[in-house]
Amino acid sequence: AQSVTQLDSQVPVFEEAPVELRCNYSSSVSVYLFWYVQYPNQGLQLLLKYLSGSTLVKSINGFEAEFNKSQTSFHLRKPSVHISDTAEYFCAVSDQGAQKLVFGQGTRLTINP
Amino acid sequence: DAGVTQSPTHLIKTRGQQVTLRCSPKSGHDTVSWYQQALGQGPQFIFQYYEEEERQRGNFPDRFSGHQFPNYSSELNVNALLLGDSALYLCASSVFPPDLNSPLHFGNGTRLTVT
C-alpha cells in the first residue's frame, strides 16, 4: 500500500522569504509523484509532477520539487514566496500515472507581509 | 472550454437521508473519479468510472455508489448518511487509457454537511 506524509500541517513565512514544504512517501513499487495546490473554496490544481527522468521538476510559477528515491522524499521549494501563494498544498503519489492518487494530509502555507 | 463542473456547490442533509452529487467532466475526458476530502485532511479516492462501469474502488462502504451516463457525466450517491460523511466531495476527470502526461482535472467540489 502507498502512503504520503506531509511533515508540516502549517507553514507560516514572510513574503519574499524562501519556503520548503516537506513530503515523504511509502511505496513498494515505482511511483509517480505530484504536488497539487488548493486555493480557498476551489478544487485542486496540479502544480508539478515527477514521472521519470530528471529528478528536479519545476512549475511555471517558480516552485520546484526534487525526487529523492533513497530518502523517499519529494519536497516542494520556492526561493521567494508571494502573498498569492497562500493556499493548501497537497503531495500525492500514484503507481498508475495520474490516476487513483493517494494524498497527504496537506500543508497550509500562510504568507505574512 | 468548460472544465469539470459539479453541482450543487453546497448541500445540507440530515443523518439517515440519501444524497446525490453530480459531475460533468472536462470536454474530451471520458473517465470520472470521485474523492472525499474531510475537513483538514487530504482527498481520499472513492471510485472511478469509465464506459459507465466502476473500474476501481477505494476503501469506502457500499453506502457509496455511483453511476456514469453515456455523455460521461457522473453521479455519486450516498445512502444512510452519517455525520462522518460531512466533507468536500471532489470530482476529477481524465482520459482513458491513463496517460502519464494527462493530469487529473478537478472540479471545485460539493460541500456536504450532515446534521
pLDDT tens track for B21-54: 999 999 999 999 999 999 989 999 999 999 999 9
Q: What is the mean pLDDT of chain A?
A: 91
Q: What is residue B102's predicted lDDT score, i.e. its pLDDT?
A: 72
Query: Cα separation of A56 and A97, whole Å?
Result: 18
Contact across the interface for B90 and A4, Cβ inside 8 Å: no
Taking the CA of residue B45 and the nearest CA in chain A, the distance in Å comes to 6
Over residues A4-22, mean pLDDT:
96
**Below-70 pLDDT ranges, chain B:** 1, 98-100
Tell me which of A49-53, A86-90, B54-58 is least confident.
Answer: A49-53
Q: What is residue A40's predicted lDDT score, i.e. its pLDDT?
A: 86
Backbone angles phi, psi at A101, to 5 degrees: -85, 145
Q: Which residues contact A45 (CB under 8 A, 6 or more apart)?
A: A36, A37, A38, A39, B106
Nearest to residue B89, comparing CAs of B2, B32, B6? B6
> Does pLDDT of A98 surpass 70?
no
A32, A41, A98 ranked by CB distance to B94: nearest: A98
Residue B100 forms contact with A (CB below 8 Å): yes
> Does pLDDT of A63 surpass 80?
yes
Q: Which residues contact B22 (CB under 8 A, 6 or more apart)?
A: B6, B7, B73, B74, B75, B76
> Does pLDDT of A46 surpass 70?
yes
Q: Which long-range contacts (CB under 8 A, 24 or more apart) does B57-66 make?
A: B58/A100, B60/B36, B66/B34
B98, B106, B109 ranked by CB distance to A99: nearest: B98
Q: Is A105 left (phi over 0), alpha (psi -120 to 50) or beta?
A: alpha
Q: Which residue of B has its CA nearest to A94?
A: B100
